Amino acid sequence: MENKIYEYSSTRLSFRKNIIDNMKENDCLIINVRGAVDRNNEGVFKLTKKQIFENFENVVKSKAYKDGGYNYQTTPQKAQRFRIRQ
């Protein structure tokens, strides 16, 4: 069985619960960050569900995520390793 790829665009690095919760561990999520106030926050980020839960544990445990989604105002340094394009 092939892994699925999920993708969406946002003006901030955002984690959407309704999409991530439907992913399998090795499915990929591509987040296209465009139109950010600070252009340094823009880019294309690619992560598996497993990577999200291992590297952004604070996000998936947050009230905002549980309510539907978590948005970073500024892209954190720990996300840079998942940036595949500027």
List the one residue out of 71, 66, 68 whose CA is nearest residue 14: 71
What is the Cα–Cα distance from 24 to 80, expressed in whole angstroms?
A: 23
Q: Is the pLDDT of residue 86 over 90?
A: no
Query: How far lies 62's CA from each of 17, 18, 37, 73, in Å?
Result: 11, 15, 24, 15
Residue 1 has pLDDT above 90, yes or no: no
pLDDT tens digits along 18-72: 999 999 999 999 999 999 999 989 999 999 999 999 999 999 999 999 999 999 9
The first and second tokens of residue 8, run together, are 């969406």
CA gap 10, 42 in Å, rounded: 9
